[in-house]
Structure 1
Amino acid sequence: MEAFTPVPPEWTNSATHAFEFCCPTCRSSCNQAHRVWLNRLSPVMTEDYHKKWQEFYQCQCGTVWWAWSSDRPPSEFANREIPPSF
């Protein structure tokens, strides 16, 4: 899987910074990307001592973009109610 390789793939060289967590060209979400690479070897510390890193995506429209992991919107699965067990 390419997402966790320590060396950046060649396709990330043309990435543009997306200021919203979606493709800056067609506005597709990161879930529809053809390729993903996470730059986890060079984290940045935020002012409240949390780590963030660059996430690179190659969109289905061909645009290569990146955004900070801290800009990722909450998951649609995060606050689901767990059914009671009997």
Structure 2
Amino acid sequence: MEAFSPTPPSWRESATHANGFCCPTCHASSTAATAAWIDRRSPVFIENRKRKWQEFYLCECGTAWWGWSDDRAPNEFADRQPATPDNRNPFNNEDGDLDYDSFFGYF
């Protein structure tokens, strides 16, 4: 099962809404799920033109549950600043030479 498949899995029909974005039965996180499906066909629009989706999970304990995408806890990449033209340009130093530290920092 692909998370972005347009066809929903059959186990989605028995899913219950989980408060706290974890399995309501065993409290396992979404990363412990054996299958996942995101309903990208029906986004809900919230403030500032942002969207959220229903994310469905089949837990390893057999419980099907779902939560809103904006209820998920931030991941390790959430605090990164978006790339701007100034911090993406490896030649952005005073002498115009390649700044190897900033260039190879992206790989």
User: Shorter-chain TM-score: which interval?
Assistant: 0.7 to 0.9
Q: CA RMSD in A?
A: 1.6
Q: TM-score, normalised by structure 2?
A: 0.70
- After superposition, the C-alpha distances for 1:1-35 in whole angstroms (9 at most, x for unaligned) are 52111121111110000011111111101001000
CA–CA separation in structure 2 for the residues paired with 1:77 and 1:47: 23
Structure ID, larger Rg: 2
Aligned twin of 2:42: 42
Query: Gaps (5+ residues) in structure 1?
Result: none
Give 4+ residue runs of structure 1 displaced > 6 Å after superposition. Answer: none
Identify the structure with the greater helix proportion.
Answer: 2
Query: Does the residue aligned with 1:12 lie in a helix, a strand or coil?
Result: helix
Q: TM-score, normalised by structure 1?
A: 0.86
Report how many aligned residue pairs link the two structures: 82
Larger RCO: 1 or 2 (CA < 8 Å, sep 6+): 1
CA–CA separation in structure 2 for the residues paired with 1:42 and 1:77: 26
CA–CA separation in structure 1 for the residues paired with 2:58 and 2:76: 22
Query: Gaps (5+ residues) in structure 2?
Result: 81-100, 103-107
Identify the structure with the greater strand proportion.
Answer: 1
Mean Cα displacement is larger for which, 47-56 or 63-72? 47-56
